[in-house]
A and B are shown apart, each in its own frame.
Chain A
Amino acid sequence: MNEELRALYQEVIIDHGRHPRNFKKLEEPSCCQEGYNPLCGDRLTLYLKVDHNKIIDASFEGVGCAISMASTSLMIERIKNIPIIEAQQLFEAFHLLVTEPSPTVKTLEYLGKLTVLGGVRDFPTRIKCATLGWHALKAGLDNAASEQRVSTE
């Protein structure tokens, strides 16, 4: 198997793709956000529990390829118990990771384990798979933020 493919399908990705973590419905989520890629039919629902601008729990369900499943699974591990604002920064950094030809060392260090998805860069048709869960996160957080604003005002 060639280098690029190996870089794409690293152990961690195969593992999370096959056994996604936090793969369940969340009871009483603050929001549940659909993510859908009409091109390939990948579909997932992201559940978020937010309290005082912090993500206190998250999970997901859905069907998709190894890349979208693994990427979402790894994302959720990382975003639990962090402030919303930091999750939004992670979204930006992750986007750079999968689209920029050479992300900075700072970005890579910041992303940590999530850098295993960097191999997607060489597969333009698969970038959408890697970012599906992340786009659901962004939309979900935007919704949660506006709902909180509504409920606290």
Chain B
Amino acid sequence: MSLISSFPIMSSSCNPAQNTIDWTALRSDFPLLSQQAHNKQLAYLDNAATTQKPNAVIEAIAHYYRVDNANVHRGVYELSERATQSYEATRNKVQNFLNAWSREEIIFVRGATEAINLVAQSYARPALKPGDEILISAMEHHSNIVPWQMVCKKTGAQLAIIPINDSAEIMLERYQQLLNEKTRLVAVTHVSNALGSINPVQQMITMAHEKEIPVLLDGAQAAAHLSVDVQALDCDFYTFSSHKAYGPTGVGVLYGKKRHLDAMEPYQGGGDMISSVRFEHTEYNSLPYKFEAGTPNIAGVVGFGAALDYLSAVGFDNIVQREQQLLDYATLKLQAISGLHIIGRAKNKASIISFVLDCAHSHDISTILDHQGVAIRAGHHCAMPVMERFNVPATARASMAFYNNEADIDQLVRGLAQVFKLFS
């Protein structure tokens, strides 16, 4: 239980329920954040790309390798049992985290990308016929576009695109029209990585289900920033990545309703996913192992478990409140700058701000900010259709996590002043 005792927010004098979290103390749980960049205090504002890891996660991974390392689901010796227990314990944590009905509905994969590809290949591909449609939105990350294009190419099915308005919101009346008898699946992002929009997924799922169309939600940008209840949402699939939720890279989750997963063929073949193999015939293992061929990222999954513990100790009520505070503060500061335009003005927004400057390209902005110790993302954010929709070649994007603070945003604003000085 060393993990729990080294769990700073548990030991600090905070009471999550009453939002008396000491955010400054909590920031010090993330060792990377205390470093300098170009002789300035680092202001890490690229959390939509990946989040930093708390000590609890780093220690859980180190502890696993120091003490518990063995292969899972195989050895009958104590060490292997312990490794298996730690690995499987994370599955229960994910089940709780998403409020899934059963732990069998939680499949460990490499990340959101692999989860979507799994659904595309094992669920969609065998079912699709020429003329069928998969409905995605105009604000998808490439990883929720390309896997569908690949199955469309193989099956003769087509992609249909739900348009978004100038505020970067899904156009629900158009969505309603696009849901038709040819639609086989709706695949939309819960939160847009390039625009910050939180989509009305509950409503969208209800609308799709009225026509018996299943829905996949890409939760890569949502899972660490708002609380997700897959049973309340009633989504058919939900995907996200550990590394965007304070856990290690190389681990992700596919949640799928049991009846879908049961009916699906395995994605990959190998060890662990079988119950018996003969040259004539192989019996597949039961859920969730049917989809977890080969030795998994055990240490990663264990570290991910620690991240989920951390998140639930901070509590989503607190996280949402703090991140909205930061979003409001940053929006206020940035929109006061003349010559700066925020791209993505959805009413319901996560703590992501994309912007462009009249005087400088996002690439130049990011280089200059980097020298002020500010890490933001510049480019198309793996969402080139979004850039096209808003008629910009690229944007600069600041994305905040609960460990950021007003000082980080002030540093960003000061950095932008340097950009203006140089370019106008």
Partners in one complex: yes
Complex Cα distance A98/B395, Å?
A: 26
Task: Give the residues from 376 to 390 in chain B that come closer than 8 angstroms, CB to CB, to chain A.
Answer: 378-380, 384, 387
Q: Is A9 an interface residue (CB 8 A)?
A: yes
> What is the minimal beta-carbon distance from B289 to any residue of chain A, in angstroms?
38
Separation of A9 and B421 alpha carbons in the complex (Å): 12
A39 and B377 CA atoms in complex are apart in Å by 11
> Could you tell me the distance in whole angstroms from the C-beta of B357 to the nearest C-beta in chain A?
12
**Min C-beta distance of B381 to chain A, whole Å:** 10
Neighbouring A residues of B38 by C-beta, 8 Å? 2
Residues of B within 8 A of A67 (CB): 363-364
Interface residues as binary, B353-366 with A (CB distance below 8 Å gives 1, 0 otherwise): 00000001111100
**Contacting residues, chain B, for A40 (C-beta < 8 A):** 362-363, 378-380, 394
Residues from chain A with a CB closer than 8 A to the CB of B368 are 5, 9
B-side contacts of A125, CB under 8 Å: 367
Please, which residue of chain B has its CB at the minimum distance from the CB of A125? B367
CA distance A96 to B401 in the complex (A): 41
- CB contacts (< 8 Å) of B378 on chain A: these are 40
Q: Is the CB of B367 within 8 A of A41?
A: no
Chain B residues lying within 8 Å of A1, measured Cβ to Cβ, are 371, 418, 421-422
A144 within 8 A of B: no
A64–B367 CB distance below 8 A: no
Report yes or no: B379 in contact with A5, Cβ–Cβ below 8 A: no
- With A and B bound together, what is the CA distance between A67 and B361 in angstroms? 10
Q: Is the CB of B360 within 8 A of A66?
A: yes
Q: Which of A41, A43, A67 has the most CB of B within 10 A?
A: A41
Contacts of B379 in A (CB 8 A): 39-41
From A2, A39, A63, A66, B364 is in contact (CB under 8 Å) with A66
Please name all residues of chain A whose beta carbon is closer than 8 Å to the beta carbon of B360 when the two chains form the complex: 65-66
A4 contacts the other chain (Cβ, under 8 Å)? yes
Assess the A8–B393 pair: CB atoms within 8 A. no
Interface residues on A, range: 20 to 34
The CA-CA distance from A1 to B363 in the complex, in Å, is: 17
**B423 at interface by CB-CB < 8 Å:** yes
Closest Cβ of chain B to A146, distance in Å, is 31
What separation, in Å, do the CA atoms of A1 and B414 have in the docked complex? Answer: 12
The listed residue (A5, A8, A41, A126) touching B394 by CB distance below 8 A is A41
A residues in contact with B371, CB < 8 Å:
1-2, 4-5
Docked Cα-Cα span, A129 to B367, in Å, equals: 12
- Check if A129 sits within 8 Å of B423, measured CB to CB: no
Closest approach, in angstroms, between the C-beta of B72 and any C-beta of chain A? 38
The closest CB in chain A to the CB of B418 belongs to A1
CA distance A35 to B135 in the complex (A): 32
Q: A65 with B422: in contact, given A40-B380, A41-B384, A41-B387 (CB under 8 Å)?
A: no
Chain B min CB distance to A56 (Å)? 31
Which residues of A are found within 8 Å of B361, using beta-carbon distances? 63-66
Quick check: is A108 within 8 A (CB to CB) of the other chain?
A: no
* Closest-CB distance, A14 to chain B (whole angstroms): 7
> In the complex, which residues of chain B have a beta carbon less than 8 angstroms from the beta carbon of A4?
371
Mask: chain A, 54-83; 1 = CB below 8 Å from B; 0 = not:
000000000111110000000000000000
Interface residues, chain A, with chain B CB atoms under 8 Å away = 1-2, 4-5, 8-9, 14, 17-18, 39-43, 63-67, 123, 125-126, 129
Task: List 18 A-B pairs, Cβ < 8 Å.
Answer: A1-B371, A2-B371, A5-B367, A8-B367, A9-B364, A9-B368, A17-B364, A40-B363, A40-B394, A41-B380, A43-B393, A63-B361, A64-B363, A65-B360, A65-B361, A66-B364, A67-B364, A125-B367
Which B residues are within 8 Å of any A CB, using their own CB?
A: 38, 360-364, 367-368, 371, 378-380, 384, 387, 393-394, 418, 421-423
Closest 9 CB pairs of A and B: A65-B363, A65-B361, A41-B394, A63-B393, A41-B393, A41-B380, A40-B379, A65-B364, A66-B364
Q: A2-B38, A5-B368, A65-B360 are in contact. List 8 more A-B contacts (CB 8 A).
A: A8-B367, A18-B423, A41-B379, A63-B393, A65-B364, A67-B363, A67-B364, A123-B367
